Chains A and B, each alone.
Chain A
């Protein structure tokens, strides 16, 4: 039993990482309608960039990682999605393009960096004890940062002008043009936020999972599922689902061999989506908008 709790908490903390990716994807999806699968490559890119530079100076590494992440994300938006969206009004080509970018991104990273995982050293890679629970300090820090980023994102969306613009665009992508709202700006900011959120995610992925070219793939798939399971349009739901996946993934090891880990998570996802196809979240902003446009 004790081991189970230990595993569950470990998974929960790792879930923080999935949350960072999931809310980034959720915001992009809501504002632009694009399922930005290539976000997995952004995570790998951040992890690898940080791991490569971490030994020089940590602040420098963080800054460069941020720059690289934003450049990749914004280039994806400006140079890939927008030109395609201009010519083709439906979302399906954008989805295919994102899929292509994901494959290109992963392959390019494999060519540039070595496939061997790099683990940056840190003094935080030690445990603290709560009663008889052992927790890695770095995992705790990662979770705290993820929680802070989540809170900051929510405050941004709720309190700032740009945030409410983005919510309005998410609410009705067709109407925003009619009302003369600067939809471009909302879209750009959505990608920017996702790019920024990928930075802490990538850094902690490097520490916790090790930096290798496909490190982003599993978090991507989990985040991907979390966005759907959380209820489309619900950032809170996406975050909750991401944490749930972390816990399930952690606990799965308790009963089954590690090869079954991902399979169990996705089995849980499929079951839940069958039970609750509209997702677990009930924010429902987008749902109403969908009913209108559908």
Chain B
């Protein structure tokens, strides 16, 4: 039981890292990419194929994975420069399905659904991390670093550009800035971060196959980001704790095994709708904090919370 909890805890960290990448793309810049699983997959496959050659060097795998993801993301971003807004989601979904097909169909390299096993233990600074505990610690350190980095990014000028694009691309233009370039950067950065999640996933599980990186993973990552609070740097951790750790607890209930999967999906969907319905895509935690600050200062009544941005 304890081992199970440790595994779930570690997976939560891995998914939080993968989702943090999507949080940059979707949460900050508002680019709905349904292809995030592609980059997680690339990270995992790079690790599975390159890892044994380099003796499991974490740094080399991470750099190579990020490099490959960035290259692929640039191809994807090429389409985002051409189609706009929500339509990018369609293009990215098409991209996701296409790459999934390659993962499954290119058997000589990826071994399709049979998968690749025998991934070595990760090696960092000459030390082999051979126990689940040390790997778990590594994963949570990386997760903390990623969250800290995205938080810094969010508060800086790049973050302001991303948020402006998310909120209103036209106004962004009339303020003299380019939404297209910002989107491009957001997609590429997000891909690099998510691929790290893939690298750690492959090392931790030791086995990967194509089924792990199909579009249901993209949906899961999206659910994590939305449920955790879009655009909040801690959101991916919170969302991951809910989606990866808490929701699967329903399998402890005495349910037939066939209903567990759909029931989880149902809960993700309901959580997404609830998150959107309750307070749009503005992270509720931030709003609450602002309200507390306002009440403490006595400056603002809080009945205007849902006031229109535009004239009705």
Asked if the two chains touch in their complex, CB atoms less than 8 Å apart, one says yes
A91→B222 contact, CB < 8 A:
no
Which residues of the partner chain A approach B98 to less than 8 Å between Cβ atoms?
Answer: 263, 266-267, 270
Instruction: Mark each residue of chain A from 99 to 115: 1 if its CB lies under 8 Å from any CB of chain B, else 0.
Output: 11111111110110001
Q: Is the CB of B91 within 8 A of A84?
A: no
Asked whether, in the complex, the Cβ of A224 is within 8 Å of the Cβ of B79, the reply is no
Q: Determine whether the beta carbon of B87 is less than 8 Å from that of A107.
A: no
- Which of A47-55, A146-154, A254-262 lies at the binding interface? A254-262
Of B82, B90, B104, which one neighbours A259 at CB under 8 angstroms? B104
A190 to B102 CA separation, bound complex (whole angstroms): 38
B74 at the A interface (CB under 8 A):
no
Tell me if B238 counts as interface (CB < 8 A to partner A): no
Task: Give the interface size class of chain A.
Answer: 35 or more
Of the candidates B32, B79, B93, the one whose C-beta lies within 8 Å of that of A95 is B32
Name which residue of chain A comes closest to B310, CB basis. A89
| Bound Cα distance from A77 to B23, whole angstroms | 28
A35 located at the interface, meaning its Cβ lies under 8 Å from any Cβ of chain B in the complex? yes
Rounded to whole Å, the gap between the CB of A49 and the closest CB of chain B is: 18
B272 touches A263 (CB 8 A): no
Whether B95 pairs with A270 at a CB distance below 8 angstroms is: yes
For B105, the chain A residues whose CB sits under 8 A away are: 257, 259-260, 263
Q: Least Cβ distance of A173 to chain B in Å? A: 13
| A-B contacts, CB under 8 A, total | 135
CB-based nearest A residue for B307: A87
Report A71-104 CB contacts with B as 1/0, cut-off 8 Å: 0000000001001100111111101110111111
A98 to chain B, nearest CB (A): 9
With A and B bound together, what is the CA distance between A289 and B186 in angstroms?
29
- Interface hit among B9-17, B138-146, B257-265: B257-265
By the criterion CB–CB under 8 Å, are B309 and A89 in contact? Answer: yes
A227 to B87, CA, bound (A): 9
Which residues on the A side are within 8 Å of B91 (C-beta)? 228, 269-270, 273
Report the bound CA distance from A221 to B93 in whole Å.
Answer: 8
Residues of B within 8 Å of A, CB-based: how many?
52
Question: Across the interface, which residues of A come within 8 angstroms of B264, CB to CB?
Answer: 107
Is B262 touching A111 in the complex (CB atoms < 8 A)? yes
Contacts of B258 in A (CB 8 A): 115
Q: Is A294's CB within 8 Å of the partner chain B?
A: yes
- Is B87 in contact with A274, judged by CB distance below 8 angstroms? no
CB interface residues, B 256-278, toward A, < 8 Å: 258-259, 261-266, 268-273, 275-277
- Chain B residues near A62 (CB-CB < 8 A): none
B270 pairs with A100, CB closer than 8 A: yes
Q: How far is the CB of B46 from chain A (nearest CB, A)?
A: 21
In the complex, chain B residues 186-243 whose Cβ is within 8 Å of any chain A Cβ: 219, 222-223, 226
Does B30 count as interface, using CB distance less than 8 angstroms?
Answer: yes
> Is B78 touching A110 in the complex (CB atoms < 8 A)?
no
Q: Is A225 an interface residue (CB 8 A)?
A: yes
B54: A residues at CB distance < 8 A? none
Whole-angstrom distance between the alpha carbons of A276 and B310 in the complex?
Answer: 34
A263 touches B97 (CB 8 A): yes
Contacts of B219 in A (CB 8 A): 103
Most buried by A among B167, B270, B276, B308: B276
The CB with the most chain A CB atoms within 10 A, among B219, B262, B310, is that of B262
A101 to B98, CA, bound (A): 24
Chain A minimum-CB-distance residue to B273: A100
The answer to whether A80 touches B273 (Cβ under 8 A) is yes
Residues of B within 8 A of A225 (CB): 90, 93-94
Chain A residues lying within 8 Å of B86, measured Cβ to Cβ, are 35, 91-92, 95
Contacts A263-B100, A270-B79 supplied; 20 other A-B pairs, CB < 8 Å: A80-B273, A80-B277, A89-B310, A95-B89, A99-B272, A100-B270, A100-B276, A103-B266, A103-B269, A104-B266, A221-B94, A221-B97, A224-B90, A257-B105, A260-B105, A263-B98, A266-B93, A270-B91, A270-B94, A277-B83
Can you list 21 A-B pairs, Cβ within 8 angstroms, ordered by A? A89-B309, A92-B32, A92-B86, A92-B281, A96-B276, A99-B222, A103-B265, A103-B269, A104-B273, A107-B266, A108-B262, A110-B261, A111-B259, A111-B262, A228-B87, A262-B97, A263-B98, A266-B101, A270-B79, A277-B82, A277-B83
Chain B interface residues toward A at CB < 8 A? 30, 32, 78-79, 82-83, 85-87, 89-91, 93-95, 97-98, 100-102, 104-105, 166-167, 170, 219, 222-223, 226, 258-259, 261-266, 268-273, 275-277, 280-281, 306, 308-310
Residues in chain A within 8 A of chain B (CB atoms): 35, 80, 83-84, 87-93, 95-97, 99-108, 110-111, 115, 213, 221, 224-225, 227-228, 232, 257, 259-260, 262-264, 266-267, 269-270, 273-274, 277, 294
Top 9 closest pairs, chain A to chain B, by CB: A263-B101, A103-B269, A104-B269, A100-B272, A277-B82, A107-B265, A266-B94, A107-B266, A110-B262
